[in-house]
Structure 1
């Protein structure tokens, strides 16, 4: 038991940082109407505060792998958490929407280094056959944040004001930094590839411009002409980056990674699927509070049920993937998630019988897909591709969430009319949410279509398959893979063998 605890302390330490990050995101979503009233701004303008954090994160995350290699992963991980904590303090003292948006952007800078570098540290210390389990340990505590975060945040907002929700990050961050110094192995600088400055500028400016433009469409933070120009200009810069990256041997975001079918399915299919996650994070608190008339605390409790379903399924998801393989489990779960989002369009009252099952089942389906896509992205990558793959997957997650928020906000403003421009003081008709739920639900079947690209045998190295052991002849005996040779060549970014006896 002691060995098992020691084996898991590294992913759990990283997970604590993710917990801090996710609590912050879920708490802000629940408090949107309250923040809008206090700042005197249109309620949907707060989606810019949500999206800006993701925009900053996505724009800077491509250099996270290079910075970790250049300066040492543990050192960058601690620095990232410190930046995140300072930004949280700044968020708590803002009195204008502009100030809050800028402080959230600084939080994104810290998160851009914190999440992918922490995940990279776990990957570098985990063998492939244990990767799915390690990802469960990393993600499981973080899922507790969305489960309890909305209700805790609603309680804090009700009794202490919305500014206190950002101060909750401080004890979590301090504990994560202490555990990092105590338990995380020191990793000095490795042989980092040459820094691609033109590629970084093209990708960072392109992502920031395109996502800022998309997020500003449909509301009055920026004129629609400027928002449209930013969107188109950003897309042009991203196209230029794609051409540039194809000519380099060592680009920041390597398009050649998509030659691995498992990586392509994880990134592209996962991006489509996560659009719904971003959309729902904005829609549900507004639907409960401004559509159905729930209090902030009730809204937080209901929103948290979605994550409760995810937590309940997280331990079972790896067993399902081991038993049935990745392809059909991912397809089925994506379709089920889409159905549950469609189901919200049938809810007209807080007492409707289908509301709680939709939240729980939808969260469970979402958990299965997240577990799968987080694992298969690395199934076929070589050791030297891990840093680039980690940066690419982290960036795609934030892009999809920000785009989902932007899409839901635009659709909701078009259907809600004048209620969308008030500072969280006017109810919205329940029917105004219908189109948003239907569009968000479409991402389930669309992502399922992309998951169908997987072939039999894809990502089987990540499964704990049960095979006959020589001399026994029974499929009930577990398959024991050959042990690694005592001495193996190493290279920067290579995955180090982990002890299976402690994990099993």
Structure 2
């Protein structure tokens, strides 16, 4: 068992840093009503503090791969954790919504370097035959972070105050830095491609403007005309980047990666699927507290049940993928996840019998899809493509979560009426949440439709138990190098 721990110490170290990042992505969710009262702002205005972290993370992710190649992955990983911890301290001392949003933006910059660079380090030191197992550890924070965040936030908010939810990053960060210094292999800077400055400016400003505009809808910070104009400007900048990147070999986000069907399915299908996670991270805590009248602790405990369902599949997910292949397992799990979200529309009381099964089964289905989409994206890539692909994967995850939060916030504002714009936290009618659950649940079947693009035999190279019809393909030079 000790030898097994040593073999997995690298992915476990990366997983610890990602756990901080992903808990912080949702840690505010359960504490939103408390923070709204303390800062004297409308409850749904706090969606900006949640979304800004993800927006900043997505905007700066594209540069992470280039920085890792240029200065060394280990150095960038350590620097990113330092920025993240400093920003956590800033978040803890803010007294206004604007200050909290800006501090969360800086926190997102640090997280932008931690997530993709950590994954890249694992990919560079893991054989393809062991990649699914390694990704189980790396994706574990993605399974439990969004579920643990509300529960941890509820507990800390109840006993220590909401500001302490940011201070808890300090001991976790110190442990991650110590493990990195002690166990992570040292690497030297490699011959990084010339830095595409204008590409970075277009992508970062485009993502930041588009996502900020969408998240600001509701006139809590910007008038709706300004928010819509900002979104339109962002889309135009992203389109300009996409056209420019198609003709360049040094693109930070290389659109040519989508020629690989498995990568396309992982990014596009995964983005659609994760919309529901962002939406639910905002909807469920508000539904429990302001819709059903539950306490902060009960809300956090219920939301935390999703982690129990997710953890139950930690071992079984890769075995299912090995046994049945990726395509139909992904489709079945995505549809099941959507059905569980639809099921929340039938809950009228915190004691309804179906609530706990919906949370457990939904978490289990989510776990399977996460493991699959985070693995198949690298099935057909060579060594040179892994760095930009890692950045693309991390960026798409944050974009989908931020979009989900923005979408849920807009839908809830339209259905909740005055309760959504009142300063502080007021009760919201249960019926106001129905459209949010319906739209969030629909992303499960929609992503399943995109997963249908996978063909028989796709990603079989990642399976330990290959199908009889699929003969092992000769390893390419880059594949052999990756395995070594």
* TM bin (shorter chain): over 0.9
Q: 1:95 to 1:322 in 2, by over 3 A?
A: same
Match of 1:495 in 2: 482
Alignment of 1:75-114 (within 5 A): 75-114=75-114
Q: 1:121 to 1:494 in 2, by over 3 A?
A: farther
> How much is the aligned-residue C-alpha RMSD, in angstroms?
2.0
**Structure showing greater Rg:** 1
Match of 2:301 in 1: 301
Contact 2:26 2:50 in 1 (8 A): no
Worse overlay, 22-31 or 157-166: 22-31
The normalised TM-score by structure 2 is 0.97
Give the distance between the partners of 2:96 and 2:355, measured in 1 at CA: 35
Number of residue equivalences = 484
Q: 1:322 to 1:220 in 2, by over 3 A?
A: same
Give the distance between the partners of 1:228 and 1:292, measured in 2 at CA: 33
Contact 1:85 1:169 in 2 (8 A): yes
The yes-or-no answer on 1:404 pairing with 2:391 is no
Give the distance between the partners of 1:409 and 1:287, measured in 2 at CA: 12
Q: 1:15 to 1:405 in 2, by over 3 A?
A: same
Deviation of 1:490 after TM superposition, in Å, equals: 7.4
The yes-or-no answer on 1:72 pairing with 2:72 is yes
Match of 2:229 in 1: 229
The yes-or-no answer on 1:413 pairing with 2:413 is yes
Matched position secondary structure for 1:422: coil
The normalised TM-score by structure 1 is 0.93
Alignment of 1:420-431 (within 5 A): 420-431=420-431
Matched position secondary structure for 1:29: coil
Match of 2:130 in 1: 130
Give the distance between the partners of 2:159 and 2:125, measured in 1 at CA: 43
Contact 1:33 1:423 in 2 (8 A): no
Give the distance between the partners of 1:241 and 1:369, measured in 2 at CA: 30
Give the distance between the partners of 1:59 and 1:270, measured in 2 at CA: 18
Deviation of 1:482 after TM superposition, in Å, equals: 11
Contact 2:320 2:329 in 1 (8 A): yes
Matched position secondary structure for 1:314: coil
Contact 1:279 1:407 in 2 (8 A): yes
Give the distance between the partners of 1:19 and 1:128, measured in 2 at CA: 24
Deviation of 1:494 after TM superposition, in Å, equals: 5.5
Alignment of 1:12-91 (within 5 A): 12-91=12-91
Instruction: For residues 9-40 of structure 1, give each alpha carbon's deviation from its aligned partner in whole angstroms, at most 9, with x where no partner exists.
Output: 00000001011122223321110111111000
Match of 1:454 in 2: 454
Contact 2:139 2:374 in 1 (8 A): no
Find runs of 4+ consecutive structure 1 residues off by over 4 angstroms. 479-484, 488-491
Deviation of 1:303 after TM superposition, in Å, equals: 0.8
Match of 1:177 in 2: 177
Give the distance between the partners of 1:174 and 1:242, measured in 2 at CA: 39
Q: 1:383 to 1:371 in 2, by over 3 A?
A: same
Match of 1:472 in 2: none
